[in-house]
Chain A
Amino acid sequence: MIDCEQVRELIPWYLNGTLAGVEAAAVAAHIASCTKCREELALTLQLSFQVRTAIEDMPPVPKRVWDRVRTGKGEIPLGSLNLGSFLLGLSMGLSVTRRGRPRVTSNLRLLGRQVPIYNTREEGGE
């Protein structure tokens, strides 16, 4: 048996249909015999409807967001090529993206020391 307080806590999930079978049955049995909890059920139903309607009336996602996802930070690589030389400790990477602007990264180490040679970075990139 569950009491009114427990039932009122569970009513939102009773209404959205996600309570486990045992819990849902206990709530249903309690509500059938409790006027106060039936009122609470009706109130929650009304609120959930109002909230849902308000959320559904929110503006749509502008198309520019998808454009930014595709071409912004989340650029979609078409291919990449990595070259390296074990002897020189040199590695270079070339990535071709949908923007068509290759990004070149390099890493040169001579005798354990980092030697800066050439890098290109995306504008506004991280």
Chain B
Amino acid sequence: MAHERDLLARVALKDESSFHLLYEEFAKRVFRYALTLLRDQHLAEEVVQETMTTVWSKAGTYSGSARVSTWIFGIARHKAYDILRSERKGARATEVTAIMDDPAPAIERQERVVAAINGLPPDQREIVFLTFYENLPYKTIAHLLEIPEGTVKSRMYHAKKKLAEALT
């Protein structure tokens, strides 16, 4: 954690090598988060690009009140939801490529899990991701998503129920 704060402090001073290290640390995590939310590789790449560009330009505004990861995921979330909103308006519908087209999850069982995750609404998908993959506390998730803690728990409850129906 202190390591991430040190890196970000140096990024605020426009230190390029620290920025590269921070990118190495977070690009994959932000990409997976965006992929979970958006289900589209090209859009997820866009989220990583815009998030890390914002990290570079806004590092000096990091207040230190939250973890660096929470701050970066907060930026990524805004970028991803901006894209989701434009998707819903149909403005970029032609660009959408389903994640299921990607050859990575090769085995059938894995495809079933991916399909089950993708079958969840975005607000449930992200809580599943943040809990099971990022291992965030529910209080941090509530803070990040700007929703009550009870809503985090209820979304997880419904997500788990749907996943269990699909996978067991």
User: B35 on the interface (CB 8 Å rule)?
Assistant: yes
A54 to B163 CA separation, bound complex (whole angstroms) = 13
Contact partner of A47 (CB less than 8 A), chosen from B48, B154, B157, B160, is B160
Return the chain A residue nearest B129 by Cβ: A55
Query: Chain B residues near A8 (CB, 8 Å)?
Result: 157
Binding site for A on B (CB under 8 A): 14, 16, 19-20, 23, 27-28, 31-32, 35-36, 41, 45, 48-50, 52-53, 56-57, 99, 102, 104-105, 110, 113-114, 117, 128-129, 131-133, 135-138, 140, 153-154, 156-157, 160, 163-164, 167-168
Seed contacts A9-B156, A57-B105, A58-B31; 17 additional CB < 8 Å A-B pairs: A9-B153, A16-B131, A17-B135, A51-B133, A51-B163, A54-B113, A54-B117, A57-B104, A58-B32, A59-B41, A59-B104, A61-B31, A61-B45, A66-B20, A69-B48, A72-B49, A76-B19
What are 27 A-B pairs with beta-carbon distances under 8 A?
A9-B153, A9-B157, A18-B135, A18-B136, A19-B137, A43-B168, A47-B132, A47-B167, A50-B167, A52-B133, A53-B110, A54-B114, A55-B32, A55-B132, A57-B105, A58-B32, A58-B104, A60-B31, A61-B48, A62-B45, A65-B45, A69-B48, A69-B49, A72-B49, A73-B50, A74-B52, A74-B57
